[in-house]
Structure 1
C-alpha cells in the first residue's frame, strides 16, 4: 500500500486530490498539510512513502520541501504537482531531489500512475514540460545574481537589497545589471518577471 501525503495550500485542491487518489485500491492518503514547512514533520508522523507537493505554499515552497524530504525523510519520495508548469521549476525540482514533476491538469488516472511509479523509485516528468526545459536550457543566472534578483522581487532600494544579501551597493548594482542583460529585461522589475516566468526564481 502506498502511503500518500498531500501538501497544497488550497484546501479545495488538497481535498479533491485526496478524494480522487483515495479511491485507488493501492493508495492510502495518510496526511494532508497546507504549508511547505509542515511537510517533513507530517511525512515522519504518518510514515508517508510518497509526498505530493505543490510548489507555491506558505512557509517554504514545494521544491525546498522536496529537498528536505530527501535528506531528512529519505523513505518518502517527492512528486511535484503544480499549476506552474515552468521549465525552470522542473530543473530546480529535479536538482532538489524530487522524483517527479507533473502539472495539475494531468488526468486523475495518470496522476495515480505517477504516484505508483514514483513509489517504485522511477522518475516521472510531464513530457511537454521536459521538452520545453531541454529547449530552454538551464538558468543563465549565477547564484549571486539569483540571490540579488530574489531580493529585488520584494521591491526596495539598492541599499535595501544590499542589506538583505550582505553585499555592497556597487556589487548589487553590478549583479542587477548583469541579470537584466541575461534575462533580456528592460529594468529590474522586468528581469524579476522574466526570471519568475522561467522558473529561475
Structure 2
C-alpha cells in the first residue's frame, strides 16, 4: 500500500483528490493538510511514501515545502499537483527536489499512475509543461531582482520595499529597472505580471 499525503489549501479540491485516489486498491490517503508549513510534520507523523503538494499555499509554498520534506525525509517522494502549470514552476520544483509535476486537470487514472511511477523512483512531468519549460529557459532575473519583484507584487511604494528588504531606495529602483528590462515589460506592474505568469516568482 502506498501511503499518501495531500497538501492543498482548498478543502474541496483536497477532498475530491482523496476520494479519487482512495478508489485505487494500492493507494491510501493517510494525511491531509491545508498549509505548506504543516507538510513536514504530517509526512513524518504518518510515515508518508508520496506527498502530493499544491504550489500556492499559506505558510509555505509547495516548492519550499518540497525542499523541507526532502531534508527531513529524503525517502518521501514529492509530486506537485497544481492548477498553476507555469514553466518556471516546473524548473523551480524539480530543483527543489520534486519527483514529479502534473496539473490538476490530469485524469484520475493518469494521476494514480503518476503517483505509482514517482513511488517507484521515476520522474513524472506533464509533457506539455516539460516542453514549455525547455523552450522558456531559466529565469533571467537575479535572486535579488526576484526578491524585489515579489515585494512589489502588491504595488508597494519603493520606500516601503526598501525598508522591507533593508535596501536603499536607489538600489530598489535599480533592481526594478533591471527586472523591467529583462522581462521586456513597460513598467514594474507588467514586470511583476510577466515574471509571475512565467513562474519565476
TM-score by length of 1: 0.98
In the TM superposition, 1:83-162 aligns within 5 A as: 83-162=83-162
Counterparts of 1:144 and 1:154, CA distance in 2: 17
Aligned residues: 201
Counterparts of 1:5 and 1:156, CA distance in 2: 37
Counterparts of 2:149 and 2:89, CA distance in 1: 16
1:200 maps to 200
Aligned-residue RMSD, C-alpha: 0.7
Counterparts of 2:177 and 2:114, CA distance in 1: 42
1:112, distance to aligned residue in structure 2 (A)? 0.3
1:50 maps to 50
2:15 maps to 15
What secondary structure, in the 3-state scheme, does the structure 1 residue paired with 2:186 have?
A: coil
Counterparts of 1:104 and 1:31, CA distance in 2: 19
Q: Which runs of 5+ in 1 are unaligned?
A: none
1:63 maps to 63
1:8-53 C-alpha deviation (Å, 9 max, x unpaired): 1111110010010011111111000111111001101100010000
2:169 maps to 169
1:155, distance to aligned residue in structure 2 (A)? 2.3
1:145-200 C-alpha deviation (Å, 9 max, x unpaired): 00110111132111111111121111111110000011111111110011000000
TM-score by length of 2: 0.98
Q: Which runs of 5+ in 2 are unaligned?
A: none
Counterparts of 1:78 and 1:184, CA distance in 2: 34
Counterparts of 2:3 and 2:89, CA distance in 1: 25
What secondary structure, in the 3-state scheme, does the structure 2 residue paired with 1:173 have?
A: helix
Counterparts of 1:130 and 1:57, CA distance in 2: 23
Counterparts of 2:96 and 2:154, CA distance in 1: 24
1:26 maps to 26
Counterparts of 1:43 and 1:70, CA distance in 2: 10
Counterparts of 2:192 and 2:132, CA distance in 1: 20
What secondary structure, in the 3-state scheme, does the structure 2 residue paired with 1:80 have?
A: strand
